[in-house]
Structure 1
Amino acid sequence: MSYITSDQLAKRPGARELAQIATPEHEAVVDSELMEATLTGADRSTWSIEEIEVADEALGTIEDAMADAKSVIDGFLARRGYLPLNPVPPIVTTWARAILRYMLHKDRIGDSKDDPIVRDYNDAMRLLQLTADGKFSLGADDPIQTEGADLDVQFLSDGRVFGRGCV
């Protein structure tokens, strides 16, 4: 189980970005509509077999990055006993998206200081470390924070010390 689905990736960062960064270098960039259809499992019969093969290869690259992102996240969450996550908290999906995008953009050239992809990746890594250290919660779905929440509270006291029968 991955922490992010290809349907979620089709919405954000979107099929166009994924096609640009995941298409094999020796091929023309996959058409964004074909990439979206590939990500969402929609009908691809209007494209040629060759175009579909390239889109499938791009999807394979994306799926590899999804698996790598999951491994990174699991490495941090395992330290706190969070695994397996069911359901997956939304913050974990956000981290998976940030890590996946960073991995797919690994060959990017430019100033990383102002790059939102690098910023999101660094934020995800920082929050994962805080989570592993027990200083950040996964939110309402946090399995560690909600453990024991359904236990009954009981109050016990000693017997009466004073009463009408005491003289």
Structure 2
Amino acid sequence: MSYATQDDLVRRFGEGELLDLADRDNDGVIDTEVVDGALADAASLIDSYIGRRVSLPLDPVPAVLERVACNLARYFLYEDRATEEVRKRHEEAVSWLRAVSRGEATLGAEAPATTTGGSPAYEAGRREFDDDALKGF
């Protein structure tokens, strides 16, 4: 499941930056496969942290995850030429994801109920047989 789109990346960082990062053929066109790969890597990383806390896929997707996914995907697109700002945003995103995985941060008000991990819940049902019901046998 993707938490952000190419349009989200363009809106946050500008088409020029995305073109610099994802025009692998140098033809002036953003390579959507490259962008989709970075977004998929970001989603996988996000899922690896939040998957123990919530049921996946998330529906609706909390808005905070779009920002986190964009920052992670941007870092992945930069590869080994990431600027200090890009590295800092990546580290902050991973730090926040770690906090979510430890239960120290939440996905926000829009997030679905968290799972409880551990034993399944048990609820006693109605008694079908009791002493009165068995007297006739």
Tell me the TM-score normalized by structure 1.
Answer: 0.63
TM superposition outliers: structure 1 runs of 4+ over 2 Å = none
Identity %: 34
Question: Highest CA radius of gyration, 1 or 2?
Answer: 1
1:41-78 deviation digits (Å, cap 9, x = unpaired): xxxxxxxxxxxxxx36x111001111111000011111
Which residue is equivalent to 1:72? 45
Q: How does 1:1-167 map to 2 (within 5 A)?
A: 1-24=1-24, 27-28=25-26, 30=28, 55=29, 58-108=31-81, 115-144=84-113
Unaligned residue ranges in structure 2 (runs of 5+): 115-137
Does the residue aligned with 1:16 lie in a helix, a strand or coil?
helix
Tell me the TM-score normalized by structure 2.
Answer: 0.76
Does the residue aligned with 2:51 lie in a helix, a strand or coil?
helix
Question: What value does the CA root-mean-square deviation take over the aligned residues?
Answer: 1.7
Whole-Å separation in 2 of the counterparts to 1:137 and 1:81: 10
Whole-Å separation in 2 of the counterparts to 1:60 and 1:14: 18
**How many equivalent residue pairs?**
114
